[in-house]
Amino acid sequence: MKDIPWSQRLLHRLEPEAAHLAALSALRLGLAPMPQPFDDPILSTRVWDLDFASPIGLAAGFDKDAEVIDPMLRAGFGFVEAGSVTPQPQPGNPKPRLYRLTEDRAVINRFGFNSQGLDAYVERLRARARTGRARGIVGANVGKNKETVDGAADYVTGVRAVAGLADYLVCNISSPNTPGLRGMQARAPIEDLLRRVLEARGEATPAGHRPPPLLAKVGPDLDEQQVQDIAEVALSTGVDGLVIGNTTIERPPGLTSRDATQDGGLSGAPLLPRANACLAAFARATGGRLPIIGCGGVASGADAYAKIRCGASLVQLYSALVFYGLPLVNQIKRELADLLRRDGFTSLGDAVGADLRA
């Protein structure tokens, strides 16, 4: 297991949520040290007619309110997904709600979609267009307010607001920290949701422009029938892709950290096997016809490569940054490039789903 660098050890002296806010402030103010740029041509890929310098992206949750998109792109991410944002501001669940499981290289959170709301989020996306922006792809991840009864209506509101401001859109229907949210992954609710948000996306896209790709983010705690249902709905509705997955409410055996029994969603290294199994199941169920963003447990080039071979066209990480910081991004890219060449691949796209084909 890799050692935690000194910069992260300093942040670990703070309470976890305070450390996260301090990191956001440092990035926003230009005080965070930026890694030297590293881009290997073998990592470039084209998905949804979008050009990604690398398949390594920042998962939603780190930058909930779209405050540090450009610093994170400059840090080496090929794409950044900001959110989840809810239509109305909401404080989320009571604190404490974020726990470092240092011995397990894992995190538990029960934030509950804390959000400054769509107005602030949209204004920051618009400001990027006015002030210049870093190279890279940006995704907008939308969610629902806790008290909303018609959850799909909140996703429609979010998609309408951001459709012309991001390269791709994601509906997060799998956070375990908003009551009833994961119930939207059932066949009838997800079909209703996707049809409504796809219609809203079309209506909100400026005339003469191509609608941004729209994805659904589902969790790893799904049984075989749920995977099949979601895959069939995704294909029949015409949604553009899936994000697999979110945090898990399960606790794998062998966790040793003091806070391992806290309520909330578990992410980080212990999630990797479960997330990869779910990813492979969706890749098989969709027959490779839908691009998938693989998320959950990535902390090395080998982890990213495993997801790609399971069927992921793109890969996201977040929790590993808590322990290894921004230099991890370039490290993963270098390791991934070496692994692709070792196995005789001349492009990243050729490796997608290699294990399933085998």
Residues 355 and 343: beta-carbon distance below 8 Å: no
User: pLDDT band for position 130 (50/70/90)?
Assistant: confident
Q: Specify the DSSP class assigned to residue 81.
A: E
Q: Is 299 helix (H, G, I), strand (E, B) or coil?
A: coil
Q: Is beta strand 106-109 parallel, antiparallel or unpaired with respect to 98-101?
A: antiparallel
Where is 231: in which H helix or E strand? Answer: helix 224-237
pLDDT at 2 over 90: no
User: pLDDT band for position 114 (50/70/90)?
Assistant: very high
**How distant, in Å, are the alpha carbons of 24, 37, 74, 325 from that of 30?**
10, 16, 11, 16
* Domain range annotation of the chain: 42-357
Residue labelled with tokens 């029960």: 110
User: pLDDT band for position 178 (50/70/90)?
Assistant: confident
Question: What pLDDT, on a 0 to 100 scale, did the predictor assign at position 208?
Answer: 87
Q: Residue range 326-335: average pLDDT?
A: 97
Question: What pLDDT, on a 0 to 100 scale, did the predictor assign at position 217?
Answer: 97
Q: Select from 172, 191, 291, 274 the least CA-distant residue to 240.
A: 291
pLDDT at 181 over 80: no
pLDDT at 317 over 90: yes
Handedness of CA 202, 204, 206, 211 (dihedral sign): negative
What CA–CA distance (Å, rounded) separates 146 from 62? 20
pLDDT at 358 over 80: no
Question: What pLDDT, on a 0 to 100 scale, did the predictor assign at position 174?
Answer: 87
Q: pLDDT over 70 for what percent of the chain?
A: 100
Residues 329 and 75: beta-carbon distance below 8 Å: yes
**How distant, in Å, are the alpha carbons of 30, 69, 326 from that of 33?**
8, 16, 9
User: pLDDT band for position 58 (50/70/90)?
Assistant: very high
Strand partners, 58: 80, 317
Determine the distance from the C-alpha atom of residue 27 to the mean position of all C-alpha atoms in its chain, rounded to a whole number.
Answer: 19
Residues 218 and 243: beta-carbon distance below 8 Å: yes
More confident of the two residues 329 and 175 = 329
Residue pLDDT, tens place only, 259-295: 999 999 999 999 999 999 999 999 999 999 999 999 9
Question: What pLDDT, on a 0 to 100 scale, did the predictor assign at position 36?
Answer: 85
Residue pLDDT, tens place only, 78-101: 999 999 999 999 999 999 999 999
pLDDT at 185 over 90: no
Q: Residue range 120-144: average pLDDT?
A: 93
Question: What pLDDT, on a 0 to 100 scale, did the predictor assign at position 216?
Answer: 97
pLDDT at 37 over 90: no
Which residues are annotated as catalytic? 175
Specify the CATH number of the domain 42-357. Answer: 3.20.20.70
Question: What pLDDT, on a 0 to 100 scale, did the predictor assign at position 340?
Answer: 98
Per-chain mean pLDDT for the chain: 95
More confident of the two residues 188 and 154 = 154
User: pLDDT band for position 177 (50/70/90)?
Assistant: confident
Structure pTM?
0.97
Count the neighbouring beta carbons within 10 Å of the beta carbon of residue 140.
27
In angstroms, what is the C-alpha Rg of the chain? 19
Residue pLDDT, tens place only, 223-232: 999 999 999 9
